[in-house]
């Protein structure tokens, strides 16, 4: 492992597998896994749904930024970010400057299927209440707008074709190879 590397950030759309892959990578490295959304919920004793309902998306983004500033100072951590984290202010600069950023890319059809199958729309205020048909169109549009931010990651892996353990192995290999 690169000695200068202290943080790995996983970015990507909701449902792309960030949390699972983060857990696997952290386990292999003996590092701590941090899920940004869970950390926000634990710190503020509330849920992401409640934050959106009470403070709106703008309020949530402020809390998310606060948490990002906190975690980017920790060491030996694998951070699973929220799907919108890289797309706000200079969040992506903060991440690329403080660690390796990995984009888990997945096609809209696969994302819609996974989010529907796992009832993943319920705990995600941005997707809540959308029918299966609406969901796909929404994801296509939002992913289109977000792609430019995600694409700034130093590494990209397709989680359409890689199962979570394979994606984790690919990440570990890529990071090992990039040793200066
Ligand atoms: C969001 C993604 C969610 C969570 C919030 C907003 C987004 O995280 O941060 O509901 O804007 O894409 P996950 O990507 O972990 O679901």
CA angle 34, 35, 37 (to 5 degrees): 140
Distance 84 CA to ligand 1 centre (A): 6
pLDDT value at residue 25: 98
pLDDT at 1 over 70: no
Residue whose CA is closest, atom 16 of ligand 1? 14
- How long, in residues, is the chain? 180
Regarding the beta carbon of 17 and ligand 1, being less than 6 Å apart is answered: no
Greatest Cα pair distance in the chain: 48
pLDDT digits (tens, 9 = 90+) for 101-153: 999 999 999 999 999 988 888 889 999 989 878 999 999 999 999 999 999 99
Distance 111 CA to ligand 1 centre (A): 13
Which distant-in-sequence residues (6+ apart) come within 8 Å of 163 by Cβ? none
Residue whose CA is closest, atom 12 of ligand 1? 83
Quick one: pLDDT band at residue 68, thresholds 50, 70, 90? very high
Q: Which neighbouring-strand residues pair with 11?
A: 103
Closest CA to 65 of 46, 39, 45: 39
Phi, psi of 151 (to 5 degrees): -65, -10
Q: What does pTM read for this prediction?
A: 0.96
Distance 64 CA to ligand 1 centre (A): 10
Which distant-in-sequence residues (6+ apart) come within 8 Å of 109 by Cβ? 136
């Amino acid at each position: 492992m690169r000695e200068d590397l202290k943080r790995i950030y996983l970015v990507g759309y909701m449902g792309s597998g960030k949390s699972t892959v983060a857990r696997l990578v952290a386990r292999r490295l003996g590092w701590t896994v941090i899920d940004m959304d869970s950390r926000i919920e634990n710190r503020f004793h509330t849920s992401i749904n409640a934050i959106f309902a009470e403070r709106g998306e703008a309020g949530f983004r402020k809390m998310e930024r606060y948490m990002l500033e906190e975690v980017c100072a920790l060491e030996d951590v694998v951070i699973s970010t929220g799907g919108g984290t890289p797309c706000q202010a200079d969040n992506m600069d903060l991440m690329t400057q403080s660690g390796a950023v990995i984009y888990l890319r997945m096609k809209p059809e696969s994302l819609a299927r996974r989010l529907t199958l796992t009832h993943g729309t319920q705990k995600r205020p941005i997707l809540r209440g959308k029918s299966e048909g609406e969901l796909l169109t929404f994801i296509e549009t939002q992913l289109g707008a977000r792609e430019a931010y995600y694409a700034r990651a130093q590494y990209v892996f397709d989680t359409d074709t890689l199962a979570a353990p394979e994606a984790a192995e690919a990440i570990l290999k890529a990071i090992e190879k990039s040793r200066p």
